[in-house]
């Protein structure tokens, strides 16, 4: 579904991504694990069109998408849940969700998807008219995910969904990520909590200083001594 081929990305003169190649097959959850500043978020931003690669190619469903505008990429079926949630704080929960469907015209479909979001995240239904900025961190994460789903993506990019959340909420969010995947949405996940990410992913890539240094099935990487020592607390 998604092929990233020899991609290089720079911030000014600083190279953030070096010759990265990876692929995501339809129906998979693929996770990128690695330390802070390794380039994982940069990679997601490059796939979603927020950053332009200097070299390399990004192919989605057989079409080259690098260099295209972010809104064009959303239209093609990729939604991005950014790190730090980035909800519209002074708008209501409902308005945030409606903005997720901004590019759509199918009113009946939008209503149907709203219902689906409320089924996944009942807490949002309880807080429909509330200002999004007054929600807890966990609720804001639910809203950011719900908003992305309103674009009806076939590929969902999730950046650090567990960041700053209480352990119990993290479990809930990850259970919902699995549910979203089971209903047919492919997921590329960036997550600090490597144990958790590997527990729900099909495959994984380890990113270090902008390069992919290891890849394999989630089971292989969970069993790898190198990964255990670096990312899984050495157990």
Model pTM? 0.91
Residue 235 has pLDDT above 50, yes or no: no
Contact 13/204 with Cβ under 8 angstroms?
no
Position 33 scores a pLDDT of 94
3-state helix, strand, coil in the chain (%, to 5): 40, 25, 35
Q: Which domains does the chain have, with CATH numbers?
A: 2-87+153-231 (3.40.50.300)
Residues in the chain: 235
In sequence order, the 6+-apart residues with CB closer than 8 A to the CB of 114 are 97, 150
Is 75's pLDDT higher than 60? yes
pLDDT recorded at residue 7: 97
Mean pLDDT (the chain, rounded): 91
Average pLDDT, integer, range 154-161: 94
The stretch 109-113 carries a mean pLDDT of 86
When pLDDT is averaged across residues 6-28 and rounded to a whole number, the result is: 96
pLDDT grade for 234, boundaries at 50, 70 and 90 = low
Question: Is the predicted pLDDT of residue 104 greater than 90, yes or no?
Answer: no
């Amino acid at each position: 579904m998604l092929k990233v081929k020899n991609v290089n990305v720079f911030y000014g003169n600083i190279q953030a991504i070096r010759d990265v190649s990876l692929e995501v097959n339809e129906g998979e959850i693929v996770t990128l694990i690695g330390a802070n500043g390794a380039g994982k978020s940069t990679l997601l931003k490059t796939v979603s069109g927020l950053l332009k690669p200097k070299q390399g190619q990004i192919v989605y469903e057989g079409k080259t998408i690098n260099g295209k505008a972010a809104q064009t990429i959303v239209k093609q079926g990729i939604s991005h849940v950014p790190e730090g949630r980035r909800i519209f704080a002074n708008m209501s929960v409902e308005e945030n969700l409606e903005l997720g469907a901004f590019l759509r015209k199918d009113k009946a479909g939008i209503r149907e998807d709203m219902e689906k979001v409320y089924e996944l995240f009942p807490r949002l239904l309880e807080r429909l008219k509330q200002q999004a900025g007054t929600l807890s961190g966990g609720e804001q994460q639910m809203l950011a995910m719900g908003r992305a789903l309103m674009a009806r993506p076939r590929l969902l990019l999730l950046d650090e969904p567990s960041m700053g959340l209480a352990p119990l909420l993290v479990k809930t969010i990850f259970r919902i990520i699995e549910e979203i995947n089971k209903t047919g949405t492919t997921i590329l996940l960036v997550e600090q909590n490597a144990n958790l990410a590997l527990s729900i992913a099909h495959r994984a890539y380890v990113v270090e200083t902008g390069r992919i240094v290891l890849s394999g099935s989630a089971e292989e990487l969970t069993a790898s001594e190198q990964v255990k020592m670096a990312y899984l607390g050495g157990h």
